[in-house]
Amino acid sequence: MTSHVSRADAAPQPHATAPHAPAPHTPWSTLAPVAEIGFGVYVHVPFCHHKCDYCAFATFTDRAHLIDRYLAALKVEIERAATGADSSGAASPLASTIFVGGGTPSLVDPQALVTVLDAIPRRDDAEFTIECNPDDVTVDMLRTFRSIGVNRISLGMQSAREHVLLSLGRTHTPANVKRAVDAIADAGLDNFNLDVIYGGAGESLADWKSTIESVIALGAPHVSAYGLTVENGTALADQPDRHPDDDDQADKYDIADDLLAASGRMNYEISNWAVPGRECRHNAVYWSGGDYAGFGSAAHAHRGGRRSWNVRTPDRYIELIESGKSAESSHEELDDRTRRLERLQLQLRTRDGVPREALADADVEEMSELVQPHGDRLVLTRAGRLLANEVSLRLRA
């Protein structure tokens, strides 16, 4: 199996077993016109209390003293882009989707954070997501987020079993996930995602089933379930006895897909399930090969085939912005063929699939258990989702 990844032992009592009714919106698709998918914005907040054992992201546990200066620099970078005073020379389009990730955005002062985020030019109907650690969430925090239009929360649940959370190096408890979900409802928000991870050391099939049952009981309209991966430089990488087993992860993927589908949450990308109408619109920007801005240290951006990324550390990021310079570390220009191929590779992972001509007839026949025709498209089967990289290698741009 090809793993995928970007976080009381009993299942909680049901918070909302029936999926939330979706707000009316254009049906989710990476094939929608560019104007419908829109322009995305990603904002990176790199600070954490604790580094999880599997995390390879650009996050830091020893830079809390930089938070105020970082937020000030972040606001400057956003304002430069909004007015065209950055290296692009053109004002950013209004954002259709905004995703604030990290790191732990909920670690910083909520009022200070929204003061920065409110500088992002955006559409009135923009999907606006902030990642939160369950330990940090309060009703007051969420109401502060709502005051600038935040309408979606993503919680790093990871598991409903305490011994699995400990094996992943997580510090929160299942009880705090339930408390955070209650706070989301109390704050008047009805759209949220739960991130879960399967394949941690000591996690049985029953443990994983309990986690998915808890996700459903908590009423999450959207679920991201990732197979644990081993990244170089992480604490997990140095402990091979804790590395995940491919067959075990494949079995757990099947459990997740069965239970989530039965609950009305349908798979729309290899690692993502949602109630119809609650698919993440920000994801559609990425998976369609669309344009997006990235603000903050280590943030990536894409505009018309130019892909760029900022310097990795908050220290260097602050230094550059405060001195009036761009925080961009480097960039690359993608030719048309590369852009087409990357778009196919991303769309293959989704329920939209790829055009029939993207694979040779002989490859489709040979991989009939992995990919099947669906109208004028080719779509991965469940087995194909687990071996998507094998199919991706055969794509023709």
What is the C-alpha separation between 36 and 157, in angstroms, rounded? 31
pTM (global) more than 0.85:
yes
| pLDDT exceeds 60 at position 20 | no
The C-alpha R_g of the chain, in whole angstroms, comes to 21
What is the C-alpha separation between 25 and 38, in angstroms, rounded? 13
Comparing CA positions, the residue from 317, 304, 308 lying closest to residue 46 is 317
Supply the pLDDT for residue 87. 67
pLDDT digits (tens, 9 = 90+) for 57-106: 778 888 999 999 999 999 999 999 998 877 666 788 999 999 999 999 99
Give me the residue spans of the domains in the chain. 34-286
Mean pLDDT of 336-362: 98
| pLDDT exceeds 60 at position 4 | no
Mean pLDDT of 142-169: 96
| pLDDT exceeds 50 at position 3 | no
**Domain 34-286 in CATH 3.20.20.70:** yes
Mean pLDDT of 364-388: 97
As a 3-state breakdown, the chain gives helix, strand, coil percent values, each rounded to 5, of 35, 20, 40
The three-state secondary structure class of 247 is helix
pLDDT digits (tens, 9 = 90+) for 275-286: 999 999 999 999
pLDDT band at 225; cut points 50, 70, 90: very high
| pLDDT exceeds 80 at position 21 | no
pLDDT digits (tens, 9 = 90+) for 297-317: 999 999 999 999 999 999 999
Establish how many alpha carbons lie within 13 A of residue 46's alpha carbon, considering only the half-sphere containing its beta carbon.
28
Mean pLDDT of 200-212: 96
What is the C-alpha separation between 209 and 358, in angstroms, rounded? 36
What is the C-alpha separation between 397 and 386, in angstroms, rounded? 22
Mean pLDDT of 231-236: 78
Supply the pLDDT for residue 235. 77
Mean pLDDT of 221-230: 94
DSSP 8-state symbol, 236: G
CB contact set of 335 (below 8 Å; sequence gap of 6+): 305
pLDDT, the chain, mean: 91
Q: Does residue 145 or residue 9 have the better pLDDT?
A: 145
pLDDT digits (tens, 9 = 90+) for 6-17: 332 233 333 333
Task: Give residue 42's identity as a one-letter amino acid code.
Answer: Y
Establish how many alpha carbons lie within 13 A of residue 279's alpha carbon, considering only the half-sphere containing its beta carbon.
23
pLDDT digits (tens, 9 = 90+) for 93-130: 999 999 999 999 999 999 999 999 999 999 999 999 99
pLDDT band at 1; cut points 50, 70, 90: very low
Supply the pLDDT for residue 92. 87
Supply the pLDDT for residue 25. 60
Q: Are 199 and 160 in contact (CB under 8 A)?
A: no
Q: Which two tokens stand for residue 45?
A: 């907040």
DSSP 8-state symbol, 190: -
pLDDT band at 53; cut points 50, 70, 90: confident
